[in-house]
Structure 1
Amino acid sequence: MVATQNTPILFLYFCLSKSYTMKRFHLLLVFLLGMLRLTAQQKDQVANQFFTFLSEGKWEDAYTILSPKSQTKISVKALEQLWNNIGKQYGPWKSYSSDKVENVMGKSRLLISTNTFEYYYVDFKVSVNSEEKIERFSLHAVNSIPLNGDVLDSVTIAGGKLYGSLSLPTGIKKCPVVLILPGSGPTDKDGDSKLLLPEYNHAYQFLAKALAEKGIASLRFDKRGIGANKSFTDPAQSTLDNYDKDAITWLKYLKQNSRFSDVYIMGHSEGGVIAIDAALAEPVKKVVLLSTPAESLENLLVKQFKPYVHDSVVKTIPVIFRQLSNNEQPTVPNTLNSVFNKGSFDWLKSHNGVVPADRLAELRNTQVIIINGTIDTNVPPAQAEMLHKSLPSSKLLLIPGMSHLLRMESDKEFIAIRPLASELISAVSAFLKK
């Protein structure tokens, strides 16, 4: 029989015509489906050549594979910078494994191309036109490869175990460790918030890796109801008070570990608020605050919503907080439902009366560094300046061009790959090591 595209179907018909038993037919069907799956996962010739050229640093050769339209959007130099940025974030490129055909339109096709880097499996969405040129490519999905030296750890709290990842430097028996606290919402231990951020951030994991390379261990963990700690399903447990207790529990646990010379704490966004509370309850020598608000959550939300909704809606925010404080059922405008909903009422209520700047002022005997990006729209740099004013002994660092995601942002990007701020990494590591 001559092999053709229809060979599996012809072979299936032949087997059925020979009265194979149903059991053998099922085995055959599984085999054929496996063959078809392998066929669908083969490497696409155009994508294969493109990623091979990029991995070999043949920028001009890779550029020739882009369509004329794509070439108007990106230069050879920008393509080189783009690929180098990817390497900075995900580690050195290792291999290009396969393509999955998502859609075929005439002679054009849309692919999901999987590449393996040192720390991540990165899927790119690649559009190949009828001229066999790449019309566009973009980041599709990122799946982390566990960091070398990452160790699963846990502490026991009311209701079960809370799991975290301990990142350790290699070849160092005794070193300092920093507890990394994530921001608000469904933000996990790596800094991803898939419900709120379409891109994969991984900021905390990158920080952990960078710190480990500089001889500093770190512990990061998923909040209750997130990631490895999904077993905590009650929204009423997701409150600032409980987050404070969890951080304090981790601090006590780390202090009891003889491998660590010192224990510090670092928080991002709401994690910074928790870091302040935890340091007051369980003193540490050093606190790192990243994009941390100085004002109450109520005031911050008013400022965040003001540019986007009508003034009449903004005025309901203080009313909602008062209703929650009085244990009343709040009336929430539809435009605020993303933040003010039944699943978040307990969390919002727990923030009532909490002014981070006032609490920070009590950390007079603690070394504190306050770091903020100049283009952070969630927690503007004015918030960092207010924190610094409340504790003049603290160190203030405003990083030009850094966003709330702790990355250097650019208005013109062919693909959503933005490097973690290098000044952030150097400032944090220098502060913790001095």
Structure 2
Amino acid sequence: MKLFFITLLWLFTSFNSFATAIEKIVSIETGMGKLEGTLLTNDFKDSKTVVLIIAGSGPTNRDGNNPTMINNSLKMLAVQLAKIGISSLRYDKRGVGESKSSGLKENELRFENYIHDANSWVEYLNNLRNFKKVVVIGHSEGSLIGMVASQKNNVDKFISIAGAGQPIDQIIREQLKSQSPVVIEQSTSILDKLSQGETVENVPVFLNSLFRQRLQPYMISWLKYDPQKEIAKLNKPVLIVQGSTDIQVSLMDADKLAAANKNADKVVIQKMNHIFKEATLDRQSNFQTYNQPELPIKPELVKVIGDFVLN
């Protein structure tokens, strides 16, 4: 499908006395509506490497925010990368923010839609011809999306940040282990059917938020992808980054991804949580950082990405 690239405006912002960041709002047409993103670079003519930043699950926008939390994690990452000479493109997911026109009804959405969107942005960056290398960074659910998108030859390197190391049904099963026997029994039966590609008509009310019928087709499409199998397909440089105080994705997930691709580099950043902020393992204080946009991201994350991307 042919893409039409639309430049909307240029904004110039000074980050420090040594470099001027150029912020360009860009969009692509998907055939189902527009996707909008922000291209950020400290020197559009001379910057030769660009990273595509893919957000995590839910209604997450290009800055890493959603209606229930504002932390600016992805925006901060892009700004800090620009300071060390790495350009970036981050975008609103379909149906979110300025990409709202491309949204699908819940029962029409498939995991492949997100993969297609990532591929389209990679194509956009390659067509710019200003960059010699395109690197994909996937955060959380965006890690799996990025893994699949990076299997094409037009991606030079891949970075997973806080990416799950097992299929979504296994993650849900583990998360529900602490629930009552009734919840475990009912959810296990539903997950077994979804894993076989079958929808479930009668979902208990107490499980409706997780397994409502309109969401089931998306879950079935998501269940087709095993992160360990997908990352094993990458025959290019791979970096796996995990925070030691991430209470959503565990160190075990990073270990599983690293074991699946023997050529991948794995880095654990101490005291970094799921949204790149410094935090302890205390759940309450950890989650409080999700709504503290003034907190900076861990500088070690920027250094690790910079070393991998630029070398």
Quick check: TM above 0.5? yes
Single out whichever of 419-428 and 379-388 deviates more from structure 2. Answer: 419-428
**How far did 1:296 drift?**
0.5
Code of the aligned partner of 1:304: Q
Determine whether 1:408 maps to 2:285.
no
> Sequence identity of aligned pairs in percent?
29
Greater RCO, CA 8 A, separation 6+: 2
**How far did 1:283 drift?**
4.2
**How far did 1:343 drift?**
4.5
Question: Which one of the candidate residues 158, 167, 182 is aligned to 2:31?
Answer: 158
**How far did 1:237 drift?**
4.4
Question: Which one of the candidate residues 141, 145, 156 is aligned to 1:274?
Answer: 145
1:370-414 deviation digits (Å, cap 9, x = unpaired) = 011112121111000000000111111111211112211145799
1:298 aligns with 169
- Aligned partners of 2:47 and 2:87 also within 8 Å: no
Return the alpha-carbon distance in structure 2 between the equivalents of residues 378 and 254 of structure 1: 31
2:22 aligns with 149
**How far did 1:148 drift?**
5.1
Distance 1:311 1:399, change over 3 A: farther
Question: Which one of the candidate residues 224, 233, 237 is aligned to 1:367?
Answer: 237
- Aligned partners of 1:320 and 1:330 also within 8 Å: no
2:55 aligns with 182
Return the alpha-carbon distance in structure 2 between the equivalents of residues 207 and 353 of structure 1: 30
Question: Which one of the candidate residues 292, 314, 317 is aligned to 2:187?
Answer: 317
**How far did 1:330 drift?**
4.1
**How far did 1:354 drift?**
1.6
- Aligned partners of 1:374 and 1:402 also within 8 Å: yes
1:381 aligns with 251
1:420 aligns with 297
**How far did 1:328 drift?**
2.9
The 3-state SS of whatever aligns with 2:182 is: helix
1:61-115 deviation digits (Å, cap 9, x = unpaired) = xxxxxxxxxxxxxxxxxxxxxxxxxxxxxxxxxxxxxxxxxxxxxxxxxxxxxxx
Return the alpha-carbon distance in structure 1 between the equivalents of residues 82 and 45 of structure 2: 10
Distance 1:336 1:173, change over 3 A: same
**How far did 1:281 drift?**
3.3
Return the alpha-carbon distance in structure 2 between the equivalents of residues 243 and 184 of structure 1: 10
Code of the aligned partner of 1:206: M
Return the alpha-carbon distance in structure 1 between the equivalents of residues 210 and 274 of structure 2: 18
Code of the aligned partner of 2:72: H
The 3-state SS of whatever aligns with 2:135 is: strand
**How far did 1:172 drift?**
4.7
Distance 1:236 1:337, change over 3 A: closer
1:356 aligns with 227
Any gaps of 5 or more consecutive residues in structure 2? 1-13
- Aligned partners of 1:313 and 1:333 also within 8 Å: no
Return the alpha-carbon distance in structure 2 between the equivalents of residues 174 and 162 of structure 1: 24
Q: TM-score, normalised by structure 2?
A: 0.84
The 3-state SS of whatever aligns with 1:192 is: coil
Question: Which one of the candidate residues 235, 246, 260 is aligned to 2:106?
Answer: 235
CA RMSD of aligned residues (A): 2.4
**How far did 1:313 drift?**
1.1
Return the alpha-carbon distance in structure 2 between the equivalents of residues 372 and 246 of structure 1: 25
Question: Number of matched residues?
Answer: 285
1:254 aligns with 125
- Aligned partners of 1:298 and 1:317 also within 8 Å: no
Which runs of 4 or more aligned residues in structure 1 lie more than 6 Å from their structure 2 counterparts after TM superposition? 412-415
Code of the aligned partner of 2:306: S
Distance 1:418 1:409, change over 3 A: farther
Larger Rg: 1
**How far did 1:333 drift?**
3.8
**How far did 1:152 drift?**
1.1
Single out whichever of 270-279 and 233-242 deviates more from structure 2. Answer: 233-242
1:338 aligns with 209
Q: TM-score, normalised by structure 1?
A: 0.61
Any gaps of 5 or more consecutive residues in structure 1? 1-117, 120-146
Distance 1:279 1:334, change over 3 A: same
The 3-state SS of whatever aligns with 2:119 is: helix
**How far did 1:194 drift?**
2.1
Distance 1:342 1:405, change over 3 A: farther
